Structure 1
Amino acid sequence: MDTQSLPLVSVITPSYNQGTYIRETIESVLQQDYPHVEHIVIDGGSTDNTFAILSQYNRQSEKFRFVSEPDRGQSHAINKGLSVAQGEIIGWLNSDDTYLPGAIRKAVQALMANPHWGMVHGNGYCANERNLPIRPFPVKPQDRQKLFERCNILQPAAFIRKQVLYEVGGLDESLSFCMDYDLWIRIAKHHPIGYVPDYWAKARYHAASKSVNQWPTVGLQEVFRTSAKHYGTVSNDWVLEYLYFHHNKGVFPLLTFFRAHAVFGGAPRITAMNRYPDMWVPPRFHVSIQSDPQAPAHTLLIRGSRLGSPPSSHPAFLHYVINGSLTGRIAVSGTTFTVELPLPPDRTNHEVDIFASWNVKIGSPANPRVISFLADQVLPLTYQELQFYRAYLANPAGIAQWVRDHRTPVPRL
């Protein structure tokens, strides 16, 4: 078969200060046995020896070209490369990763044999700093449902039809870590994702790589944001991984993060509240709550503190009025307290007023202010959020098992 009749493959490499590794990356492309390849490096204006290496290959190979100028990050670099790529098939190879021999040929053969596939991916290895395989990456066949559970595509072992990349709008440039996961989900919504059980690439893990030093923070946060955007919630696998790294943060940071990403469904929200900017509240503390009928607010959780401790002969109380009806009172002792105010289950909107049996005047004589207590946490919780809160308080070390036993997410597919 004539070389020019084969599909052109454009390999795009985003680069920034990877002079230590990029030569090996380029060689892994140039040494492929598939004859119709162009390699485009989009460099972000590296200040190390990257430019000299790129210039050398630009002189030596007609298959190679590069741009070196400031950009807005990795996703922007890939999109820049896509805009000038001439190939029908796109490979995305980061500047510290490498292809294994035959990878491009095998990917093209798979896509030509399966014209309905929007992309194809193969197996690969996690490699160390010297590019020696450490272990196989846990690759599995993927579709939209499986991608909700977890991402089992090794990015450098993936090849995508350029037309499909244009259809889904390229990479999301607001993402700096899991832009590949976001891309696979968008492709899977419209096209089958093919899989070939052969080894095509190595992803290098080293001290400076994002996959090593940013995964627990930036990486997982972007995964949660991406999953919540596409599926309306997050899988148990992702929740358990987050808990593995962050379970010791405390229950309120965990609840706040999980609520922001619909881990327990649509979280009830506060639509109005007269708490002061410094979190002190007036003698009549008012909170308006709105919730989803599918996940109604069950309890208003308040963590507060007060100035000084009440004498034992004068117990302190919080009286609460819910939706215009005096509902009850809760005794408060000590300087800090946490209360759970039950909300009627038959409503989605609630108006809550809380009156403390104590008040304190603070401020200057010219600008006095009467306050009751400091409310540093005010959270309307669904029933499952409340159960998570109580389970964590009872046994923080066992919260992962509680998630396995009690949480069944329902993704929007």
Structure 2
Amino acid sequence: MELSSLAVPSVYALITFLAYSSQWLFLFSEPGPLEREQRIQFNILLVCLLITYTRSVTVDPGRILKKMQKEIAQDGKQPRQRWCRKCEAVKPPRAHHCKECQRCIPKMDHHCPWTANCVSHTTFPHFLRFLFYAVTSMIYLEYFLYLRCAIVWRDRNLPSYLGPSMFQLAHLFLLTVANSLTLFALSILLIRNIWCLAVNTTTIEGWEIERHNTLVRRARYFGGYLDAPDGLKVHIRKQEFPYDIGIWANFKQGMGTGNVLAWFWPFAATPSVETGVEFETNGFEDDGVMWPPPDPDRITRKAPKGVDGVEEAFTYRDAGLTPEETLVAFRKRQEADIVRRRKPFVQRVEAKVVRESSLSGEDMNGSEAGEDFDGEGEEGSHSGEEGWRNSEGERLRDFGVDEDIEFYDEEDDIPLSELLARKRVRVGKAS
């Protein structure tokens, strides 16, 4: 059994321990049981908490249906359409391929291990309501615990038989510590998610914004351009995040409705997947500009280094295989060769400086300079710029994103069959 499968039961166990064992303890500790009004209010909050958490776990995070994919591919509104190699389908704006859900998720925020589900366009309202009711109920419980801890401290010099038993003291201590730590962590998470809702960014897009700002700072040093594979240079300029359309509009879009009461209703309707395919933009950038901005390290190399001779282009390694086995072998090689990683930016620049400063008569072979500047290296998945981390030390994979699929989708990788199908549709519409 994987540890991840225990996450959801653990959360239910924590809720049960904090919410109901505390009420049992209050029956035997000063200042006595909760008053009737307090008990009703507290348990209503607990019911809302359990409902919203259950919906965060069970509501489907959405999938891009084939009908929606065709509409996206044929509308022609997007200047560049990203293509998911695993789903073999168009990836809508703000969608990302989740390595846990094994599909592209509309407006994916992150894959939450504590709900075993993606926080997405359809599940974000439920997730935010869960955080709200969790924090609210724990603040209420913290108040009750504080009253009882204060009484224990006040009577600390009295004989022990006049106070609570050791079991009750230990129980009170565990409740206070667990509730305080969980309240602290979830309060930060709630504030962060409210902020993201107010500016209409997801956790992944926050990572992309920081990544873009890093590239802009790098490009300023090199005259506005950064090196890309195969000798290309990519122009990098400051680009505004397009989906921040105003606080009120952001709240309506993120919560799926403009009805404020529905924002707090545990049984509020789930936003439809169809509303998570296209998003209104603020118009600060031209129509031909897309998010995320150009990133030279998202561009894959056209050919692996060292493949220069014709003898390497054609081989007979599959001569003894059946047609089906040949196809399987080809796909395995294709999958292994589809991403050729590059070393981190700092290493490439240092190698470039060494190469340019070397004497003109000195022989700098590939192993000394070329591989350091643009090779796979020895660190595998940690050697390329997909290993870049933001200021909090997070990579894309920390949000549940499949890095190999997500990071290298800067170029259109749409199959020829798909391009021909689109061409037939355009010709049909024109005629």
Higher strand share: 1
TM-score bracket, normalised by the shorter chain, equals under 0.3
Higher helix share: 2
Name the TM-score, length of structure 2 as normaliser: 0.22
Q: Report which structure shows greater RCO (CA 8 Å, sep ≥6).
A: 2
Name the TM-score, length of structure 1 as normaliser: 0.22
